[in-house]
Structure 1
Amino acid sequence: MRSSQVPPVAVLVDAYTTGNHLPPAFAKLGVDVVHVQSTPELMTSMRLPDLSAYRAVIPYGTPAETAERLAEFAPFCVVAGQEPGVPLADELSERLGLPGNGTALSAARRDKYEMIEALRRAGVRCADQIKSGSTEDLVAWAEERGRYPVVVKPLSSAATDGVAICRDAEEVRKAADAVLGTVNIFGEHNDEVLIQSFLDGEEYMVDFVSYDGERYACCIWQYHKKLKGTHRIYDRDSITPPGTSPATEIIAYMHEALDALGIQYGPTHAEVIVTPEGPVLVEVGARLSGGLLPDFHDICLGANQADVTALAFTRPRDFLDRYANRTYRKLTEATWILLATDRDGVVESIDQDVVAEIEALESVHTFVPKLAPGKRVRPTVDLYTATAAVHLHNRSAEALERDAARIQQLKDRIYRLRDDMGCAA
Structure 2
Amino acid sequence: MAIVDCRSTGRFLPAALLRHGIECVHVHSQHPDVHMPFEADGFVDDLRHDGDLAATASVLRKHGVGHVIPGTESGVELADRLSAELGTPGNGMSRPAARRNKHDMVLALRDAGLAHAATIVSSDADEIIAWAESTAGYPVVLKPVASSSTDNVAACASPEQIRAAHAKIMSSTDRHGMTNTVVLAQEFLAGDEYYVNTVSRAGGHRTVEIWRYHKRRVPGGDFIYDYDEPLAPDDPVARRLESYAHEVLDALEIHNGAAHTEIMLTARGPVLVECGARTGGGQIPEIVTACFGVNQVDLLALSVAEPEAFDRLPTTAYRLLRHPRFVALINPRDEGVVPSHEAMAPVRALPSYAHTVMARPAGQPMSRTVDVATWPGYVYLISDDPEQVRADYRKLRAFERDFLYDNGSR
Global fold match (TM > 0.5): yes
Answering whether residue 57 of structure 2 is matched by residue 63 of structure 1, we say no
1:24 corresponds, among 15, 18, 25, to: 15
| 1:374 Cα deviation from its structure 2 partner | 5.8
Give, in whole Å, the separation in 2 of the partners of 1:335 and 1:383. 17
Matched with 1:132 is: 122
Answering whether residue 158 of structure 2 is matched by residue 143 of structure 1, we say no
**Size of the alignment, in residue pairs?**
407
Partner letter of residue 411 of structure 1? E
Matched with 1:186 is: 176
- Give the secondary-structure state (helix, strand or coil) at the position aligned to 1:55: strand
Q: Residues 164 and 232 of structure 1 are in contact (CA less than 8 Å); yes or no, is this contact kept in structure 2?
A: no
Q: Give the stretch that moved more between structures: 374-383 or 126-135.
A: 374-383
| 1:191 Cα deviation from its structure 2 partner | 1.2
Q: Percent identity?
A: 36
Pairwise mapping of residues 11-410 of structure 1 onto structure 2 (< 5 A)? 11-39=2-30, 43-48=33-38, 50-61=39-50, 62-145=52-135, 147-228=137-218, 229-321=220-312, 323-345=313-335, 347=337, 350-373=339-362, 375-410=364-399
CA shift digits 1:245-279 (9 cap, x unpaired): 21111111111111111111100011100111111
Give, in whole Å, the separation in 2 of the partners of 1:172 and 1:43. 26
Give, in whole Å, the separation in 2 of the partners of 1:146 and 1:260. 24
Matched with 1:3 is: none
Give, in whole Å, the separation in 1 of the partners of 2:54 and 2:237. 44
Give, in whole Å, the separation in 2 of the partners of 1:203 and 1:87. 26
State TM-score, norm by structure 2.
0.95
Give, in whole Å, the separation in 1 of the partners of 2:92 and 2:85. 9
Partner letter of residue 290 of structure 2? I
Give me the CA root mean square deviation.
1.8
Give, in whole Å, the separation in 2 of the partners of 1:84 and 1:96. 20
Q: Residues 118 and 136 of structure 2 are in contact (CA less than 8 Å); yes or no, is this contact kept in structure 1?
A: no
Q: Residues 164 and 230 of structure 1 are in contact (CA less than 8 Å); yes or no, is this contact kept in structure 2?
A: no
- Give the secondary-structure state (helix, strand or coil) at the position aligned to 2:255: coil
- Which ranges in structure 1 are unaligned for 5 or more consecutive residues? 1-9, 419-423
- Give the secondary-structure state (helix, strand or coil) at the position aligned to 1:300: helix
- Which ranges in structure 2 are unaligned for 5 or more consecutive residues? none
Give, in whole Å, the separation in 1 of the partners of 2:249 and 2:364. 39
- Give the secondary-structure state (helix, strand or coil) at the position aligned to 1:281: strand
Partner letter of residue 115 of structure 2? R
Give, in whole Å, the separation in 2 of the partners of 1:82 and 1:326. 24
Q: Give the stretch that moved more between structures: 176-185 or 28-37.
A: 176-185
| 1:350 Cα deviation from its structure 2 partner | 3.2
Structure 1 residues 97 and 397: CA distance shift in structure 2, 3 A: same
CA shift digits 1:323-354 (9 cap, x unpaired): 2522311111110000222323463x735443
Give, in whole Å, the separation in 1 of the partners of 2:177 and 2:123. 18
Q: Residues 14 and 82 of structure 1 are in contact (CA less than 8 Å); yes or no, is this contact kept in structure 2?
A: yes
State TM-score, norm by structure 1.
0.92
Structure 1 residues 157 and 362: CA distance shift in structure 2, 3 A: same
